[in-house]
Amino acid sequence: MRLFAALVPPASVLDDLAEAVGRGRAGAPPSVRWSSRERWHLTLAFYGEVDADRAPELAGHLARAAEGVPAPVLSLAGAGRFGQQVLWAGVRGAPDALAALDRLAAAAVAAGRAVGAAVEDRPYRPHLTLARSRGPADLDPLVAALADWSGPPWTADALRLVASTPGARPAHDVLATVPLAAGTQR
């Protein structure tokens, strides 16, 4: 199974983002493929291929790792790009909330390593991927179209262990939902 841990913004936040993205989509290069709203999320850790029988163990490690991590209050805002192929929406929050998000991502990585998953070893950069280009593309006009956009705040009250099925009709299936501590970080 191809697995990752993620936070999923509530529908109202995704509605606001979809509206903002819709305004900027018209100027997109033809090579840009937009991620479907149903798959929008903030990845905490990508695990790659993990044996299906290890998924419950991974979910248990995630639950223990999330204990005591307060639910951060976040917002999606602005946009950026990774190279000339990935367009993303940014993540904002108070310093305590962003610190909680970083701790959560580090805990998700540790949970993956505990079950032998091949977790990427690079600094965490919170974002929500909006689109990918099949080749190099000028994404700057799309970044500029979203530069001043700021979505409503939301409390990330649970992390999810998700199975990703790539292909012509990619799908995301939630295998486990882990609640975060009731006290929020603003």
Q: Quote the tokens at residue 58.
A: 């991974």
Q: How do residues 72-129 score in pLDDT, each as one tens digit?
A: 999 999 999 999 999 999 999 999 999 999 999 999 999 999 999 989 888 899 999 9
What percentage of the chain exceeds 90 in pLDDT? 73
CA 73, CA 55: separation in Å to the nearest integer?
Answer: 28
Q: How far apart are alpha carbons 116 and 113 in whole angstroms?
A: 5
Average pLDDT, the chain: 91
The C-alpha atoms of residue 41 and residue 158 are separated, in whole angstroms, by: 12
Sign of CA dihedral 116, 119, 123, 124: negative
At 15-44, the pLDDT tens digits run 999 999 988 787 788 889 999 898 899 999
CA 130/CA 21 separation, integer angstroms: 8
The two three-digit tokens of residue 92, written as one number = 């904002």
Q: Token pair for residue 128? A: 């929500």
Closest to 175 measured CA to CA, from 58, 66, 72: 58
pLDDT, tens digit (0-9, with 9 covering 90-100), for 135-157: 999 999 999 999 999 999 999 99
141's tokens: 């006009």
Tell me: pLDDT of 181 over 90. no
Phi, psi of 115, rounded to the nearest 5 degrees: -105, 10
Alpha helices in 25-161, H assignment, sequence order: 55-66, 95-114, 140-146
Output the pLDDT for position 186: 57
Instruction: Name the class of domain 2-185.
Output: alpha beta
Task: Say if residue 182's pLDDT is above 70.
Answer: no
